[in-house]
């Protein structure tokens, strides 16, 4: 019995050793297959990660959260303001001295008059779709700040300008504001400005509830943009304070002596020379241009800067082109402030494009 156990004992040990040797490759093979499966899984994870990172432009990293309903309401108000402004171009704007005047006459006048309404409709449509909401909100806020002063000036033209009659330029016509009657064009223009102001108020309420951020690609250029915008704002204010189109001086020749004398004719009133609502509106407009030029480049994200600068650009450029259109009248000539206003508007357009192009770090 002990001999059999002695014989079977080593045999059993050898069998166990063979089993261990044969089992080792099996475990090694299982570990190798696990590593291969893990290696196959890692590239797919890297591919998924690269696909997610490619969804946003490099250097922009734009993140947009849920769009609040107030942002879409702002877009709807901007669209309505643009449609009202465009509809008010062709009907009778004012009746001065029995003569009906429209805001836009001819193709050039219509194109100039459509600049701001088309911008309102385009940006409002973007807000209605819920795309890049802070772009539209910044546009609405800046446009409302500028429209507040314009609304007061519009009220003065239609109601208070007869209190102190003076020479004015309305749609390229040199008129004396001794008697004025408002028309549907004036009503639509005032409604468009009022809707723009309301849109700005709603945009201010929606701003803090809107989540939209980027990677800060514009941060290094904000100080340069702000300095250039303030310089353009001061230029625009100085140009706005004087008429963009004025009456030229008349040269009178004495038939007896042949001596020529320059006679100064009374021209349109400067913006800050008018009383009442016009003076208040002019001061508000001038202050809003400078203030918005400071605030717009500091907005976040980058597309909010683009929206704020775009609102200033279309407003200033439209005012400058309106003066250029008025100067086409045979009774008027283009002035240096009018040229400065156009240059300021073009400068704001260049700043807007620059902020748009600096979307990559």
221 CB neighbour count, 10 Å cutoff: 15
Q: Taking a C-beta distance cutoff of 8 angstroms, is the pair 124, 220 a contact?
A: no
The pLDDT score that the predictor gives to residue 262 is 64
- Token pair of 294, please? 């400071």
d(C-alpha 327, C-alpha 249), whole Å: 14
CB-based burial, 178-204: b 16+ in 10 Å, e otherwise: eebebbebbebbbbbbbbbbbbbebbe
Q: What is the per-residue pLDDT for 266?
A: 64
Those residues with Cβ within 8 angstroms of residue 27's Cβ, 6 or more apart along the chain or in another chain: none
Integer Cα distance of 254 and 68 in angstroms: 73
pLDDT value, residue 265:
65
Residue 284 confidence (pLDDT): 94
Residues in the chain: 361
Ranges assigned E (strand) in 177-249? 180-182, 212-213, 245-246
Query: Which pLDDT score, from 0 to 100, does residue 60 have?
Result: 65
Whole-angstrom distance, CA of residue 286 vs CA of residue 236: 8
**Helix/strand/coil for 147:** helix
Helix axes 302-326, 336-357, angle to 10 degrees: 160
pLDDT score recorded for residue 146: 96
Q: Please classify residue 29 by burial: count the beta carbons closer than 10 Å to its beta carbon, then call 0-12 exposed, 13-18 middle and 19+ buried.
A: exposed
CB atoms under 10 Å from CB of 123, counted, come to 28
- Look at the block and give the residue holding tokens 């690269």: 50
Q: Which pLDDT score is estimated for 239?
A: 92
Sign of the dihedral through C-alpha 335, 340, 345, 346: positive
Are 240 and 271 in contact by the 8 Å Cβ rule? The answer is yes
Tokens for 235, please give them: 């230029």
pTM above 0.95, yes or no: no
Question: Which pLDDT tens digits describe the chain residue by residue (361 residues)?
Answer: 444 444 444 444 444 444 444 444 444 444 444 444 444 444 443 333 333 333 334 446 788 889 999 999 999 999 999 999 999 998 998 888 778 888 887 888 899 999 999 999 999 999 999 889 999 999 999 999 999 999 999 998 888 776 677 777 777 777 777 788 889 999 999 999 999 999 999 999 999 999 998 888 888 889 999 999 999 999 999 998 888 887 776 676 767 777 777 666 666 777 777 888 888 999 999 999 999 999 999 998 999 999 999 999 999 999 999 988 888 777 788 889 999 999 999 999 999 999 998 865 4
DSSP-derived secondary structure letter, 157: I
């Amino acid at each position: 019995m002990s001999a059999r156990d002695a014989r079977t004992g080593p045999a059993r040990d050898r069998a166990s050793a063979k089993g261990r040797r044969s089992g080792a490759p099996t475990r090694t093979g299982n570990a190798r297959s696990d590593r291969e499966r893990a290696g196959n899984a890692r590239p797919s994870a890297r591919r998924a990660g690269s696909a997610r990172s490619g969804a946003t432009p490099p250097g922009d990293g734009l993140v947009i959260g849920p769009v609040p309903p107030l942002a879409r309401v702002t877009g709807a108000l901007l669209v309505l303001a643009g449609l009202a402004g465009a509809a008010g171009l062709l009907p009778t704007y004012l009746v001065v001295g029995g003569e009906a005047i429209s805001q836009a006459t001819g193709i050039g006048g219509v194109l100039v008059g459509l600049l701001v309404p088309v911008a309102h409709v385009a940006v409002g449509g973007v807000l209605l779709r819920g795309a890049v909401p802070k772009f539209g909100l910044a546009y609405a806020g800046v446009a409302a700040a500028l429209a507040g002063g314009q609304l007061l000036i519009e009220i003065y033209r239609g109601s208070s300008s007869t209190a102190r009659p003076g020479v004015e330029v309305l749609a390229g016509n040199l008129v004396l504001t001794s008697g004025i009657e408002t028309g549907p064009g004036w009503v639509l223009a005032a409604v468009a400005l009022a809707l723009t102001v309301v849109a700005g108020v709603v945009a201010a309420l929606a701003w803090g509830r809107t989540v939209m951020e980027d990677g800060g690609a514009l941060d290094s250029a904000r100080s340069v943009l702000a300095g250039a915008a303030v310089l353009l704002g001061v230029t625009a204010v100085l140009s706005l304070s004087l008429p963009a189109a004025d009456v030229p001086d008349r040269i009178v020749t004495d038939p007896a002596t042949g001596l020529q004398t320059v006679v100064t004719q009374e021209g349109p009133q400067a913006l800050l020379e008018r009383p009442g609502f016009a003076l208040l509106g002019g001061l508000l407009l001038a202050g809003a241009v400078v203030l918005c030029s400071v605030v717009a480049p500091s907005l976040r994200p980058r597309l909010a800067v683009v929206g704020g600068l775009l609102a200033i650009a279309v407003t200033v450029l439209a005012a400058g082109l309106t003066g250029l259109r008025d100067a086409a009248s045979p009774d008027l000539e283009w002035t240096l402030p009018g040229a400065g206003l156009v240059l300021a508007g073009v400068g704001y357009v260049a700043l807007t494009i620059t902020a748009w192009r600096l979307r990559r770090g």
